[in-house]
A and B are shown apart, each in its own frame.
Chain A
Amino acid sequence: MIPEWLPNLHPLIIHFPIALWSIAVFFDLILVIHPKAWLRNMVTLLYCLGGVSAVAAYLSGEQAIDNVSVPMKAELAAANHSDWGHYTFYFFAVYGVARAVSYWKQWDKKKLVAIALVILGIVGLAVVGITADKGGKLVYKYGIGTKK
């Protein structure tokens, strides 16, 4: 199902939470300034999809780490990436649920709540950014996963 040259699904999946969350935060900022119903629907959906894709990225990462050859000098970098992957997973999953609940209860229509949510969204962006940075180092510095 996956190409022969691809070691596992993780590199295919990981871009979804990064992209979805980035777009969600961007439109969330616009939503705070210009509240529109369609924008609110879209932002909530993007965050929820970001949360779901983070779960998929986490699970594929758990599977990937034991199936690639990690050079000894990269073990700590792999451990750090794995730890940050956990943090991202927990954060996105909880935030996705919180976002859906606040949408359902219409709490996000209150200005203060909307601002708090967008700040937390930016924090999530920083978390996934750090995770991605550490994951990128595994591939581009240590070559992990570049050979099946």
Chain B
Amino acid sequence: MKKLKLFIYPVLFIFFISCSQTRKEGSDAEQDHESGSSEGHSHDMADHDHDASEISASASISWMPAGTGEESIKSDFHFLSGSLENIKPVVIQDDRGTKILELTADGTPTSFVFHSKYSNVGLSASIKKVDFTGKIELIHHAKSPSNYEFVSIENSTMQLGRVIDGEQIVLDKAEFEQPVQDWTILKASAAGSHYKGYIGDNNVTHGHADEMEDGYVGIMLIGSGKIQISSIELLSLEDE
């Protein structure tokens, strides 16, 4: 009988583990929020609340410029540093009639972020450096101009890191081959303690650090010259 018990208990243990795992998966709804592009406005499933104390959002956003440059920025973003005057936004159209947001940075570090706060998040921006010289950063977990996480590109160097109380910590740094002169998809993701930076589908940087508190997500320009943005995709990464 004792020998039989020795068999039964481990089997029950394995059964319990597998059952609890199945229950967990069964209770989780499919969270793939893939919103389609919506020209003119951000397609946002998050609450739109400009209050800085807003709780974390669970959403995906597919943003494309519309209206005037000023309207385009004001409707979906707010500034953490700098202002409209520092980037002079205008909306232009390319040969195909696609609206593009063109920013002319005057050298003042300027960051504009979506209104909601996010925890685990993926951000993707289609950008073109026209004559911009300096650093283009995708920022997330941003609370202020001196507290945020970033994936930055400058020339052919990508850096991934965070700024804590104004002090920059680089988690990873790598060169990438593709020159950012034509349209480029720059991506950043923060999933748990895993942080990544991509050019297109190529993973360039990957670092690890403690999770930061929820924060805003957006773009920071540190430099001067023209840059164009055709779209920004944002995805709140859900646990499964």
A interface residue numbers (CB < 8 A to B): 25, 29, 32-33, 65-67, 69-70, 72-73, 75-80, 82-83, 115, 118-119, 122, 125-126, 129-130, 133, 137
Residue from A72, A77, A80 whose CB has the most chain B CB atoms within 10 Å = A72
Asked, given contacts A118-B10, A119-B10, whether A73 binds B240 with beta carbons under 8 Å apart, the answer is no
In the complex the two chains form, is B240's CB within 8 Å of A75's CB?
no
- Residues of B contacting A137 with CB < 8 Å? 240
B29 within 8 A of A: no
- Residues of B contacting A82 with CB < 8 Å? 194
B interface residue numbers (CB < 8 A to A): 3, 6-7, 10, 13-14, 17-18, 21, 32, 34, 120, 122, 124, 187, 189, 191-194, 196, 201, 203, 206, 233, 235, 237-240
In the complex the two chains form, is A73's CB within 8 Å of B122's CB?
yes
In the complex the two chains form, is A79's CB within 8 Å of B122's CB?
no
- Residues of A contacting B233 with CB < 8 Å? 72
CB distance from A123 to the nearest CB of B (A): 8
A sample of 22 cross-chain residue pairs with beta-carbon separation below 8 angstroms, ordered by A number, consists of: A29-B6, A29-B7, A29-B10, A32-B6, A33-B6, A65-B206, A67-B203, A69-B201, A72-B189, A72-B233, A73-B122, A75-B120, A75-B122, A75-B191, A75-B237, A76-B120, A76-B238, A77-B240, A78-B194, A79-B193, A122-B14, A126-B14
- Residues of A contacting B21 with CB < 8 Å? 129-130, 133
In the assembled complex, the Cα of A79 lies from the Cα of B206 at a distance in Å of 11
Interface SS of chain B: mixed
CB distance from B118 to the nearest CB of A (A): 12
- Residues of A contacting B13 with CB < 8 Å? 119, 122, 126
In the assembled complex, the Cα of A137 lies from the Cα of B120 at a distance in Å of 19
In the complex the two chains form, is B14's CB within 8 Å of A33's CB?
no
- Residues of A contacting B10 with CB < 8 Å? 25, 29, 118-119, 122
Residue of B nearest to A121 (CB): B10
In the assembled complex, the Cα of A105 lies from the Cα of B32 at a distance in Å of 53
Asked, given contacts A33-B7, A78-B194, whether A66 binds B206 with beta carbons under 8 Å apart, the answer is yes
